[in-house]
Amino acid sequence: RDVLQRLVDGTDLGDEAWRASVLTGEMAPRFIVQRLWFDRPVAAGSAPFVGTAAYGHLDNVSLVHDLEDGAAQWAERCGGSVVELHAYAVPDDVTDDEVLADLRHQLERLHPELTGCEPVHEEVLVEADCPLAGTDEWAARPGVVTPQPKLVLAGDGVRCELPVALMERAATTGFQAANALLRHWGLPGHELWSVPTRARFPRSLRAARAALRLRERGLATVGRDSSGRGR
């Protein structure tokens, strides 16, 4: 988003509201990705992907050899494993080396079979180019279509009405952006599939919500005595 902001800030593109939707966006703190090649396999039956909480800076672990053909071939050939660790929103007062050391420590908590195993190769990515998913109003974020018919936006920071986020939103808005350009040129686009975005039985949903409200009111009434004071 920072690149988009610099482009928009140097032009008079769009009206004031649209420009504000672009220029007021913030960037998230940096993230760190560490990919490790081990000459030792992980325990049999390990989950290919694990999201974590209360594991220091570690946010998730991916067994890349279970997800990518190239990594799978390497692991099979060498009898090892390829593991990727992610740390998001890293605080500014923590160094990259401190985070990497913690990631390795947390990995060994989850996979003790890798304790003391030195990687045969390592790759580290440190970036701060992700839009911040803050508490700003969703409708105020820029969408795929812009005031300029030949300019469209795509990425994980672009508003999308489908229930997607992160890489999925980047890919989805990419398709939507391509479709918008194709329509402008009078060409057919690509069909996008999604889970339902509306209730299949709206009357049942309204009835369930009404019943919940009545139940909450009833509980509130039970919690007070005849004088209106709480018990």
- Is 226 part of a structural domain of the chain? no
Based on the domain organization, do 154 and 199 belong to the same domain?
A: yes
Mean pLDDT, rounded, for 105-111: 98
- SS3 of 197, please? coil
CB-based burial of residue 27 (10 Å sphere; 0-12 exposed, 13-18 middle, 19+ buried)?
Answer: middle
Contact 28, 132 (CB under 8 A): yes
Q: Tell me, what's the pLDDT at 195? A: 86
Higher pLDDT, 163 or 15: 163
Q: Tell me, what's the pLDDT at 230? A: 54
Q: Which residues does 96 contact at the CB level (< 8 Å), separation at least 6?
A: 32, 124, 126
Q: Tell me, what's the pLDDT at 9? A: 84
Is the pTM of the predicted complex or chain greater than 0.75? no
228 pLDDT more than 60 = no
Q: Tell me, what's the pLDDT at 224? A: 56
- Is 18 part of a structural domain of the chain? no
Residue 184's domain spans which residues? 133-220
40 pLDDT more than 90 = yes
Based on the domain organization, do 101 and 152 belong to the same domain?
A: no
Mean pLDDT, rounded, for 54-80: 97
Instruction: Please say whether the dihedral angle defined by the alpha carbons of residues 43, 45, 50 and 56, taken in this order, is positive or negative.
Output: negative
Given pLDDT bands bounded at 50, 70 and 90, which one contains residue 89?
very high
Q: Tell me, what's the pLDDT at 225? A: 55
Mean pLDDT, rounded, for 110-133: 93
- Is 169 part of a structural domain of the chain? yes
Tens digits of residue pLDDT in 137-155: 888 889 999 988 889 999 9
- Is 225 part of a structural domain of the chain? no
Tokens matching residue 12: 């008079």
231 pLDDT more than 80 = no
Based on the domain organization, do 101 and 48 belong to the same domain?
A: yes
Mean pLDDT, rounded, for 101-121: 97
User: Which secondary-structure segment (H or E) carries 105?
Assistant: helix 96-110
- Cα separation, 73 vs 95, in Å, equals 34
DSSP track, 108-176 = HHH-GGGTTPPPSEEEEEEE--PBP--SS-GGGS-BSB-SSTT-B--STTSB-SSS--HHHHHHHHHHH
- Cα separation, 28 vs 125, in Å, equals 16
- Is 204 part of a structural domain of the chain? yes
Q: Which residues does 106 contact at the CB level (< 8 Å), separation at least 6?
A: 52, 55, 56, 57, 58, 85
**Average pLDDT over the chain, rounded to whole?**
89
Based on the domain organization, do 161 and 198 belong to the same domain?
A: yes
Based on the domain organization, do 155 and 85 belong to the same domain?
A: no
Q: How many domains does the chain have?
A: 2
Based on the domain organization, do 163 and 122 belong to the same domain?
A: no
65 pLDDT more than 80 = yes
Based on the domain organization, do 99 and 77 belong to the same domain?
A: yes
Given 95, 127, 159, the domain boundary residue is: 127
Mean pLDDT, rounded, for 66-87: 97
Given 74, 96, 127, the domain boundary residue is: 127
Based on the domain organization, do 96 and 139 belong to the same domain?
A: no
- Is 50 part of a structural domain of the chain? yes
Q: Tell me, what's the pLDDT at 19? A: 87
Based on the domain organization, do 110 and 179 belong to the same domain?
A: no
Based on the domain organization, do 158 and 122 belong to the same domain?
A: no
Given 57, 92, 127, the domain boundary residue is: 127
Based on the domain organization, do 137 and 216 belong to the same domain?
A: yes
- Paired strand residues for 34: 85, 124
CATH number at residue 69: 3.90.660.10
- Is 3 part of a structural domain of the chain? no
Based on the domain organization, do 103 and 159 belong to the same domain?
A: no
Tens digits of residue pLDDT in 189-217: 999 998 888 777 777 778 888 888 888 88
Contact 76, 39 (CB under 8 A): no
- Is 23 part of a structural domain of the chain? no
Given pLDDT bands bounded at 50, 70 and 90, which one contains residue 227?
low
